[in-house]
Structure 1
Amino acid sequence: MSTDKTKRAIQHLKELSYLPFTAEQIEFIYDSASFKQRIIELIRQAESRIYITALYWQNDEAGQQILNEIYCAKQKKPALDVKILVDWHRAQRNLLGAEKTKTNSDWYNDERLKNEDLKFDSMFFGVPVNTREVFGVLHIKGFVFDNTVLYSGASINNVYLNQLNKYRYDRYHLINNSELADSLVNFIQHHLLAENVVLPLDVTNRPKTKEIRQSIRTFRKNLATKGQYKLQNTVSFKEELSISPLFGLGNSRNILNRTIKDLFRIVEKNLVICTPYFNFPRSLQLEIQSLLKKGKQIEIIVGDKVANDFYIPPSQPFKIAGALPYLYEHNLRLFSQKFEQYIKNGQLMVRTWKDGENSYHLKGIWVDDTYILLTGNNLNPRAWWLDAENGLLICDPKRELLAQFHKELDYIRRHTQILKHYSEVEDINQYPLPVQKLLKKFARLKADKLVKMIL
């Protein structure tokens, strides 16, 4: 049975569309400060187009600085085509737990009004992936500057861009390939901007979500069934260095989800996984279990609870969202306990990342030094079922990128500790009292599975 699954996985990977590229066309960037600098450089160099998709663009110092660069570029080159797509819901609310003030979309509008003498068209657009944020957001990644793709799971704000000497660690890759850039832009134009529910955010009058609810449902259905990247001048699987852009929404026809499972199924020697929120979908847990039984090596790099972006120190007032890092850590303890024998014999290596007050946001998969997946997908049930996700699958049969693969992993591992036994992970009874009460209440009401599904 497992042999049949492997054959089907290989066949599916062969059916994907791949673009050829060279090792010289990709640059691995290893820290958030350099990522920010490259964004600024690419904005200043852009001649024809800037297309950005991210979960959000925050009204803070880094957000203002990058937006100023965008307006400056537009002022110098009025014909520059700028489209910035963020999640519709996220843009129109305040940060969790923050006081109600102007939202990011209000700020986008204010900034456009400041530059109204330039008569620019709208630049910010909101994408409503579902009628409520909790049931799905825009989690598509990728910045396009002319023919260059800058791909990262990061959004635009202070911590992602290391603005105030505090950072949220992600992955960053720059790929100079005109056909890949065209593919990402064409997807945005035909599957997002062409829809009647993807509306400008930098305007005064925006419709209420309830007014477009039925249109959002139709949009989600169409995006899930028809949304996919189109490529020209493709090459065959596993013949040369190549890359395949992937999209996924929902679980029935989700090419990205299927590709992730296929990557797990073709592992010959080793698999490396990065995720910030330890909450694998059941299907991936089963694949991991199968690989371990076959004797494969697996390394999982996950953020320590204090490196989670929802973490609240015990010295500060407790908020419900602050329980999430503990919930993920509890998942890690149960997982490590279940697979204790593999941790003990060294076949399963679990690393937890922590660097002071900084946070961890890495996602991705490495297989046998031959395949690497760049993605914003958190490899959790929410990404699997609810959010609109994408990724870039790199196939490197001649291992031309091996040195950069290893260098990236070495950087990621720098602030990690290897888990030697599940007991090194705190138990619920060691958590702050408010966290204990909430997690035990979830379990008592059997609500923990629902919480894990949507968060």
Structure 2
Amino acid sequence: MVNLYRRKQLLETLPSSSVSAADISVLLTAKDYLTQLLSLINSATTRIYITALYLENDEAGRLVVEHLIAAKQRCPELEIKVFVDFHRARRGLIGQKNSEGNAAFYRDIDIAHPDLIKFYGVAVKQRELFGVLHLKGLVIDDTLLYTGASINNIYLHYKERYRYDRYCTINSIALSDSFVDYLNDALIPSEGVYLFNRYPLVLDNKFKKKVANQHKQLSRVKYQLPQHSNADLTVTPLIGLGKRNNQLNKVIHQQMLQAQDNLVLYTPYFNLPGVLKRDIARLLRRKIKIEIIVGDKRASDFFIPEDQPFNKIGLVPYLYETTLLQFVKRHQKSINNGLLTIRLWQHDNNSFHLKGMKVDDRYHLLTGNNLNPRAWRLDIENGLMIDDKQGQLIDTFAQEHQQIIKHTTEVKHWNQIQTANDYPLIVRKWLNRLRRTNLDKLFKQYM
């Protein structure tokens, strides 16, 4: 067998920051996250940098903005910057036509409170379909709050429903500075970043060229730290954009193959890139135990209940389920042997948004990367790889894991998963049309 430790892994060469176990805290629920977020905002004195796919104009989004405004008024020298995806900010929710989106919300805030909060829209590609800003992380003073969640009612469990994610706080000046420096030095001066404020947004005919130039630049820029740390507990910030020289993708791939005992994967949708499917097959042949926690199709944010009007976007969860069915059939023997465990998460009408990875209870990846082809090659993604050499955080992440699997069902046989014959008639019709034209494969690449 090839010794995978013979070659130096990329993670071992990247700059990292040493932390103590006391500096890392894992929150278990969306409500805990909201409470912590507001508490940190209320006590902020120097800087607040928020990076998310979007900050929604709903009750939870407005609540966060109200606390941001109050914090700035209490402490005028406080710096507040919010980074969101440019295209997502300029459209409404799925099904909403002729909407200005959240950009109008940001404009109204700047009209009422000029220059109090700076909202930046980052255009990764010309159109949202081909790539979005999927970076995560909030820096408040010297605390890095990392979660895959955006800011709205469902992500923050402001009302009855919630979208389940992971939430971690790390007290670290070095990591916080690294995230802030990237935003200030790489994003703000970039050609495809626009300020949403009280002035009309003007896109000239050079928009396409500007975004293309920015894409090349962002694919090269990484998080900066002084050096690689060999401490017992370290955190490495990772970032990646595109298929080539993608730092985050390479580390995920290499650390998976480095597993010596066990691997845990969290993903909201079962649509793994081909390279990760092959990695799993290799690990199973080496008798490595693998556990995959994935959202049930009913826990997908694309799922449309049968009593609601159907939209073609609602095909996505069914496409993912057919992929999962094929995977389970292929690896049924490993499931029978106890090497592979697959759990489906579903809790009432709530949705599942978790992603990440654990390797041998030593490496813990916190990320917004959905571990799907889109994240692998289109969106700009980031993550934090925690290297816990002495197992100081085993209990912390074990507690998180138990909370995650609380509402899961273990798949022991492929016949537990629905097939196309079980789907609503309109879904079956559309799936047949997609398959006849091979558009189902295209769907999986872009959704």
Hey, what's the Cα distance between the residues in 1 that align with 2:366 and 2:72? 30
Hey, what's the Cα distance between the residues in 2 that align with 1:52 and 1:234? 26
Question: What residue is the counterpart of 2:176 in the other structure?
Answer: 181
Hey, what's the Cα distance between the residues in 2 that align with 1:101 and 1:250? 30
Q: 1:89 aligns with which of 53, 76, 87?
A: 87
Any conservation in 1 of the 2:51–2:136 contact (CA below 8 Å)? yes
Which residue identity is paired with 1:180? L
Which residue identity is paired with 1:321? I
For 1:122-169, what per-residue CA distance to the aligned partner results, in whole angstroms no more than 9, with x for missing partners? 510000011110000000000000100000000000000001121000
Any conservation in 1 of the 2:14–2:228 contact (CA below 8 Å)? no
Hey, what's the Cα distance between the residues in 1 that align with 2:435 and 2:316? 14
Which residue identity is paired with 2:210? S
For 1:286-330, what per-residue CA distance to the aligned partner results, in whole angstroms no more than 9, with x for missing partners? 000000111110000000111101111011110011111111111
Structure 1 residue 210 displacement after superposition:
5.4
Structure 1 residue 99 displacement after superposition:
4.2
> Secondary structure of the residue that 1:7 maps to in structure 2?
coil
1:401 counterpart = 2:393 = yes
1:410 counterpart = 2:408 = no
Any conservation in 2 of the 1:131–1:209 contact (CA below 8 Å)? no
Q: 2:281 aligns with which of 274, 280, 289?
A: 289
Any conservation in 2 of the 1:372–1:395 contact (CA below 8 Å)? yes
Any conservation in 1 of the 2:191–2:213 contact (CA below 8 Å)? no
Q: 399-408 or 100-109: which moved more? A: 100-109
Q: 1:149 aligns with which of 144, 152, 176?
A: 144
Alpha-carbon RMSD: 1.3
Question: What residue is the counterpart of 2:361 in the other structure?
Answer: 369
Question: What residue is the counterpart of 1:232 in the other structure?
Answer: 226
For 1:423-452, what per-residue CA distance to the aligned partner results, in whole angstroms no more than 9, with x for missing partners? 111001211111111111111101122111
Any conservation in 2 of the 1:197–1:216 contact (CA below 8 Å)? yes
Hey, what's the Cα distance between the residues in 1 that align with 2:221 and 2:146? 19
Structure 1 residue 98 displacement after superposition:
2.3
1:443 counterpart = 2:435 = yes
Question: What residue is the counterpart of 2:157 in the other structure?
Answer: 162
For 1:332-379, what per-residue CA distance to the aligned partner results, in whole angstroms no more than 9, with x for missing partners? 111101111111111100000010011000000001110000000000
Query: What is the count of residue pairs matched by the alignment?
Result: 447
Question: What residue is the counterpart of 2:119 in the other structure?
Answer: 124
TM-score by length of 1: 0.96
Unaligned stretches of 5+ residues in structure 2: none
1:431 counterpart = 2:423 = yes
Any conservation in 2 of the 1:371–1:395 contact (CA below 8 Å)? yes
> Secondary structure of the residue that 1:272 maps to in structure 2?
strand
Indicate how the Cα distance of structure 1 residues 75 and 98 shifts in structure 2: closer, same or farther if over 3 A, else same. same
Map 1:42-81 onto structure 2 (within 5 A): 42-81=40-79
Percent of matched pairs sharing the same residue: 42
Q: 68-77 or 56-65: which moved more? A: 68-77
Question: What residue is the counterpart of 2:310 in the other structure?
Answer: 318
Which residue identity is paired with 1:229? Y
Hey, what's the Cα distance between the residues in 1 that align with 2:87 and 2:204? 8
Which residue identity is paired with 1:135? F
Indicate how the Cα distance of structure 1 residues 209 and 44 shifts in structure 2: closer, same or farther if over 3 A, else same. farther
Which residue identity is paired with 1:299? E
Question: What residue is the counterpart of 2:320 in the other structure?
Answer: 328
Q: 198-207 or 256-265: which moved more? A: 198-207
Q: 1:135 aligns with which of 109, 126, 130?
A: 130
Any conservation in 1 of the 2:124–2:192 contact (CA below 8 Å)? no
Question: What residue is the counterpart of 1:252 in the other structure?
Answer: 244
Hey, what's the Cα distance between the residues in 1 that align with 2:144 and 2:95? 34
Question: What residue is the counterpart of 1:337 in the other structure?
Answer: 329
Question: What residue is the counterpart of 2:99 in the other structure?
Answer: 101
Structure 1 residue 208 displacement after superposition:
3.2
Unaligned stretches of 5+ residues in structure 1: none
For 1:239-284, what per-residue CA distance to the aligned partner results, in whole angstroms no more than 9, with x for missing partners? 4100000000001110100000011111001000000011000000
Question: What residue is the counterpart of 1:25 in the other structure?
Answer: 23
Map 1:203-218 onto structure 2 (within 5 A): 203-208=198-203, 211-218=206-213
Which residue identity is paired with 2:224? K
Hey, what's the Cα distance between the residues in 2 that align with 1:122 and 1:47? 15
Question: What residue is the counterpart of 1:3 in the other structure?
Answer: 2
Any conservation in 2 of the 1:122–1:202 contact (CA below 8 Å)? no
TM-score by length of 2: 0.98
Question: What residue is the counterpart of 1:111 in the other structure?
Answer: 109
For 1:53-85, what per-residue CA distance to the aligned partner results, in whole angstroms no more than 9, with x for missing partners? 100011100000001111111111221111100
Any conservation in 1 of the 2:5–2:258 contact (CA below 8 Å)? yes
> Secondary structure of the residue that 1:156 maps to in structure 2?
coil
Structure 1 residue 211 displacement after superposition:
4.4
Which residue identity is paired with 2:235? I
Which residue identity is paired with 1:138? L
Any conservation in 2 of the 1:6–1:265 contact (CA below 8 Å)? no
Which residue identity is paired with 2:335? I
